Amino acid sequence: MRKRSADPAKIVPSDITPYQQYLSRRALIAGGLGFAAAQSIGGFAGVAFGQPAAALTYVRNGALSVADAPNSYTDITTYNNYYEFGTDKSDPSENAQKFRTRPWNVTIGGEAEVTGTFSLEDILQPHPLEERIYRLRCVEAWSMVVPWVGFPLGDLLKRFKPTSKAKFVEFKTLYDPKQMPGQRAAVLEWPYVEGLRIDEAMHPLTLMAVGLYGKVLPNQNGAPLRLIVPWKYGFKGIKAIVSIKFTEHAPRTTWAGSAANEYGFFANVNPAVDHPRWSQASERHIGANAFGRRQPTLPFNGYAAQVANLYNGMDLRKFF
């Protein structure tokens, strides 16, 4: 397997991977959790994954989809937040076209029995794909409806056998200023880091997205692998993931780290808790047919019935 790391200082080549980890990685790949299992499912069989807009094989998950009409493919792929490719909404679609998503490796670390560096193929192969139509609510008070294609993050995490000390999961985006022009400026701390509490990460709504509108994710939407947590503000949905780490303590996340009074670690969509500089009570729905219509923002972005119980007894004004 070819090794590659976002941060040259943290390269984990096979020759320094602890032997026990090396063995468990072999077991993971050989044990029906890797290539072998995948062939029978076929989510990626025959898919030229590196090719943008290649069609995916998936099953629609109606039960976990909202009834709202999805935004157009154009809206979803030209109005983006992805500071690695610029801070204007139109920058990512213009600047990310040549971004290389193959070969791609993901490093799994921290409090888990199985750790190491895995190819994207090893990560994806066993997982059947689903389409889920989710609301996306940005912290900047705009929203869209997106037909994502992906698989439950929890199914992936379980393969690495997190230990009882794994209370949080930290995710990192690729750090590669040569390819990501936004990383040449200190607009944010790079690489982009996000995190979830382990129960949030394991929740069935939490999705690892690899596609949208039935096709491989366009680069500007976070190819090859990005997180979607539909009851949280969009910034939790970290793009171009190269590292997943199980941790005992809450990770320092990029936005919460840069302005702790403005962006919380939890970032649950909450119309009752305003951002210090604007109201979160309503949102502007993006889209050619929406004409910037404003609509009320829903608690937990409309997913309260499924997720409010994760926060029982917590003061959501304090843990925003």
Ligand X SMILES: Nc1nc2c(c(=O)[nH]1)N[C@H]1C(S)=C(S)[C@@H](COP(=O)(O)O)O[C@H]1N2
Residues 140-179 that bind ligand X (CB under 6 A): 173
List, as one string, the DSSP characters of 244-256: EEEESS----HHH
Side chain identity, residue 237: G
80 contact, one of Mo ion, ligand X, none, CB 5-8 Å limit per kind:
ligand X
From the list Mo ion, ligand X, none, pick the one residue 238 interacts with, judged by a Cβ distance below 5 to 8 Å according to partner type: ligand X
Contact between 138 and Mo ion (CB under 5 A)?
Answer: yes
Using rule CB under 6 A, residue 12 touches ligand X:
no
Which of ligand X, Mo ion, none does 230 bind, CB closer than 5 to 8 A by kind?
A: none
Instruction: Please give the structure tokens belonging to residue 232.
Output: 């949280």
Of 68-87, binders to Mo ion (CB under 5 A) are 81
Residue 237 touches which member of Mo ion, ligand X, none, C-beta under 5-8 Å by kind: ligand X
Neighbours of 66 (CB within 10 A): 15
190's enclosing H/E stretch is: none
3-state DSSP assignment of residue 308: helix
Closest residue (Cβ) to ligand X?
234
Task: Kindly state the helix (H) or strand (E) to which residue 74 belongs, with its residue range.
Answer: helix 73-78
Q: Are strands 168-173 and 105-110 parallel, antiparallel or unpaired?
A: unpaired
Our CB check for ligand X shows the closer of 29 and 227 to be 227
Choose one: 41-49, 234-242, 292-300, 301-309; the region binding ligand X (CB under 6 A).
Answer: 234-242
Does residue number 81 form part of the binding site for ligand X (CB under 6 A)? yes
41, 210 Cβ separation under 8 angstroms = no
Q: How far apart are the C-alpha atoms of 200 and 290, rounded to whole Å?
A: 31
* Binding at 173: pick from Mo ion, ligand X, none (beta carbon under 5-8 Å per type): ligand X
| Contacts to ligand X from residues 213-232, by CB under 6 A | 221-222
Residues 102-141, one symbol each (x = binds ligand X by CB under 6 A, - = not), give: ----------------------------------x-x---
Q: Using DSSP, state whether 137 is helix, strand or coil.
A: strand
CB 227 within 8 Å of CB 236:
yes
Instruction: Among 190, 192, 263, 300, indicate the residue that binds ligand X (CB under 6 A).
Output: 192
* Residue found by looking up tokens 């610029």 in the block: 86
CA–centroid distance for 56 within its chain? 18
**For residue 229, how far is the Cα from the chain centroid?**
7
- Please identify, using beta-carbon distances, which residue of 133 and 238 lies nearer to ligand X: 238
Among 166, 216, 238, 286, binds ligand X (CB under 6 A): 238
Short-list 201, 215, 219, 210, CA closest to 160 = 201
What's the rounded Cα separation, in Å, for the pair 147 and 230?
12
- The piece of 53-61, 124-132, 160-168, 233-241 that touches ligand X (CB under 6 A) is 233-241
Q: Which letter does DSSP use for residue 112 in this model?
A: B
Binding mask 279-318 for ligand X (x = CB under 6 A): ----------------------------------------
- Looking up tokens 């949030």 gives 200
Q: Is 228 in the site for Mo ion (CB under 5 A)?
A: no
Contact residue for Mo ion among 234, 251, 264, 287 (CB under 5 A): 234
**Interface residues with ligand X (CB under 6 A)?**
80-84, 136, 138, 173, 192, 221-222, 234-235, 237-240
**Interface residues with Mo ion (CB under 5 A)?**
81, 138-139, 234-235
